[in-house]
Amino acid sequence: MEAQALEHERRLGETHGEEALEHAIAAADLYMQAAGQTKVPEDRKRFRRKFADLIALGERLKANTKAASSASRPAVPESTRPLTTAEKTAILEASRLHGNVFPPWERAPAPDTFSDANSPTYTDPSPFSLSPEQLDIFAGWLRPTELPGFGDESAEGDLEQFMIAKAETDLAQDLATDCSVVASLCAATRYLGSTKGSLLSSLIYPFDHERIRPAVSKTGKYVFRMYFNGSWRHVAIDDRLPASKTDRTLYVVDRHNPRLLWPALVEKAYLKIRGGYDFPGSNSGTDLHALTGWIPEQIFLQSDEIELDETWSRIKKAYDDGNAILTLGTGNILPEEEEALGLVREHDYAVMGLKKEDDSRLLLIKNPWVDSLVWTGLGSTATLKAHTVGSSDGASNQFWMAIEDVLQHFDSLYVNWNPALFAYRQDHHFKWKMCDKTEELVFTHNPQYSVLSPSGSPIWVLLSRHWQDGELEILRQRKAEKDRGDSSLATVSKQLGFMALALYATSPPGTRVPLPDTTRRIHQTHYVDSPNTLLRYTPTPNTPQTLVITQTELPLPTYSFTLTFLSHHPLTITPSPPPLPHSTTLTSAWTRRTAGGSAAHPTYHTNPQYTLTLPHPTPLHLTLSTSARDLPLHIAVLYTPSPTTRIIHPQGRDIVCSSAEYARGCAAAAHPRLEPGTYAVVLSTFEPGQLAPYTLRVEAAVPVVLRPVPADGAGRLRKPLPVVAVGTGSGAGMGRLRAGVVPERLTRLAVHVRSAPGVGGGGGGSGSGGTGGGGGSAVRVSLEVGTGVHRTVLAVSREGEFADAAMGLRTAEVDVENGEALARRGGLWVVLEQIGGGGGGGDGGSGGVQVEVLSDGVVQVGGWENADED
């Protein structure tokens, strides 16, 4: 019985309207029967839940089917998910654009809004901006009956002729700057005409449903229902249009029906929400999404990932079924190529038809400009019959082009899909405050959602960025630069930033993703400057997957977005929880004092270091990121002898966990279960002196304490000993040197050795003897009590191993008695030893070592003396 119900659910996902409703009812009935027959409580609960879901779906399908039947349109799914207060606030705040308010759509306006002859003629107070070129020929805002070609030929009472197309429509753009809008209207003509299922019936008010065409408003007011900023919204305009002093036009015209009014009204309403008649540009996929609510997809034709045969089959079937609107966009074509090819750069075109002729797959393409270039066929990659190139059937600015040539000469194919292809829709709205620049490359603050599907049927996710005034100002500024020849529209797009969607498999499933990780990433959309991007994928049934919204270079401080999920079955969608509940974040920088480079450099110990204290066993995850995107970074977590001791040179056995090899811009380190205790965290760049800000985030199952380790020698008295020259001479080497140390009281101290380049002479002690540079020499330093066979080593660098002084050497900190007590035990000594270098002559030296005693109390130090006899 359950198998039968599942089969009905499967078929439900593949059908629409009455047929889908029948499958929903049949599946619900089977689940109710199964719930009454099963003896397993868990199954009974599951069957009843499925029954309730299908009944709710059936009610929605019934309502949509009824509405669709009355308008002869397919049923469109609507999101029934209750919105949170924050989401409602975001939708309301997004109502304000360009000084206007576009409230969420609640209901169709009352008929008397448009038919009351006693009402004053409506005048929209909203300003509509015009470009300088448009202002040069602007003759004022005129009503339709006042416009040339309209009023002169229209008798009183014959205004309805303004809404009738007596011939096939041929929309064109003249001096307007909205090629994407006109291309959109051209491509959508077959859905906007006077036929059953016309989308105009739910787009424009008033509408004559009997004649299936817009009606003339006697009050001069028109109301449009448009989808943008996360909601269907109310857009009101008057019927005044920008008149021209010349034969050029400032609004869209129908060359076959010059008196057709509604296309210009649709254009005006859309340009009101986009900023005016000087709107600097969009893309037709975005425009059609606002005009129709159909789901936009941008297919990048120049991508190596495109599969031509699959793309053609997909769009051809959808177009033939009436489920897709197609438009095209060119890239930054060189001026000489424009004339040769007959194509306009950075321009949108409408696709008016698709056909297969012999072995050729052809698109009928229209340039929306009134008088413009038409493709010449130069450089065609397909063998076409002569009549397939150039103008088609006498229609202006139309030409047939093979799909192979489209792939070669256009950058993008925009497909707007009928949302009625899906049974379920779920909308989520959110605000996103842009993070600090140091965290742009990681996902610490990115919105993330857990998506659970009960089946493997396709899921489409549309991310829509809400428009706001700041973006329009950026577009206008960059458009002005382009007009001056300073940049192109491609540069404009970069000023708006980019966004994308990524899908991840995580552990535990559905939890947050800390940073980009190609090993766990399932899908990734292209980064787009468009306000919309679509992710299509096949889910893993009954396994939550994590959806991440990503961005780069979005310029404004805060944005609002809407995520629309379309599916054949109900989805469970929740904000992704973090894999570990507790986190600590700090922000600092590598400076001239702290940019020590990798462990291969002697300055490694100067890198930022922190002590990490864990009160209980816990998994651990650390994320490091910077605003310097090309800077290689590394994290190391190490055992530490004390919270105030800096790591001088890490040994392999000391490393608890670390990030992989130095990674650009961000790095991560993790440990599955770390025992309680205090650890050192070292943050490094690859080379010394690489300066940049950074952010470190530590996540754990318990609260942790993260504190900076003081700089080397911070809070300590420094007592330098004379520089000791080391070299590569022919002698037996420097051997052992020692210098006495006398503390005045109980003192904590350590010894630090570093290179002192350019030293050519010996040190100050009688046994300084050695000379020369550091090449070929290795040293170690120790703190010892007593001399000879009775001496005691308190601390030694590198656990007794010799190392190049250029790497920086240091002993651990030790507590020592005062000088009097030490004297009874043979005194306290700093001992410096060398192997592998030359002793002897003092000339020819090129380097030396500087030894310092670091202490928290006053100490006295003597000069170097020979200790070889020890």
Active site (catalytic) residues = 179, 347, 367
Could you tell me if residue 117 is left (phi over 0), alpha (psi between -120 and 50 degrees) or otherwise beta? Answer: alpha
Kind of pairing between the strands at 778-785 and 828-835:
antiparallel
| Contact of 624 with 636, CB cutoff 8 Å | no
Please give the torsion angle defined by the CA atoms of residues 566, 572, 575 and 576, in that order, rounded to the nearest 10 degrees: -110
d(CA 220, CA 429): 35
| Contact of 860 with 742, CB cutoff 8 Å | yes
Within 367-479, strands assigned E span: 398-402, 412-417, 424-433, 448-452, 459-465
Of residues 694, 582, 555, 685, the one with CA closest to residue 632: 685
d(CA 90, CA 88): 5
Please give the torsion angle defined by the CA atoms of residues 101, 102, 107 and 110, in that order, rounded to the nearest 10 degrees: 60
Residues in CB range of 537: below 8 A, 6 or more apart: 458, 459, 461, 503, 522, 523
Residue with tokens 């079937």: 317
Alpha-carbon distance values, 807 to 497, 690, 726, 760 (Å): 44, 18, 15, 20
| Contact of 449 with 547, CB cutoff 8 Å | yes
d(CA 354, CA 351): 8
According to DSSP, residue 867 is labeled: -
Within 262-336, strands assigned E span: 295-300, 324-329
Q: Which two structure tokens, joined as six digits, stand for 55?
A: 């009944």
d(CA 521, CA 31): 36
Going 853 to 857 to 862 to 867, the CA torsion angle's sign is negative
Long-range contacts (CB closer than 8 Å, 24 or more residues apart) made by 42-51: 47/2, 50/5
Q: Rg for the chain (alpha carbons), in Å? A: 38
| Helix ranges restricted to H, 321-468 | 335-341, 403-409
DSSP for 276-292 reads STT-----HHHHHHHHH
Please state the separation of Cα 775 from the chain's center in Å.
50
d(CA 430, CA 549): 11
817-840 per-residue burial string, b: 16 or more CB within 10 A, e: under 16: bebeebeeeebbbbbbbbeebbbb
Greatest extent of the chain over all pairs of C-alpha atoms, in Å: 124
Count of Cβ atoms closer than 10 Å to residue 462 Cβ: 23
| Contact of 326 with 312, CB cutoff 8 Å | no
Q: Which two structure tokens, joined as six digits, stand for 391?
A: 């103008």
Could you tell me if residue 289 is left (phi over 0), alpha (psi between -120 and 50 degrees) or otherwise beta? Answer: alpha
Percent of the chain that is helix, strand, coil (3-state, to 5)? 25, 30, 45
Residue 524, beta-bridge partner list: 502
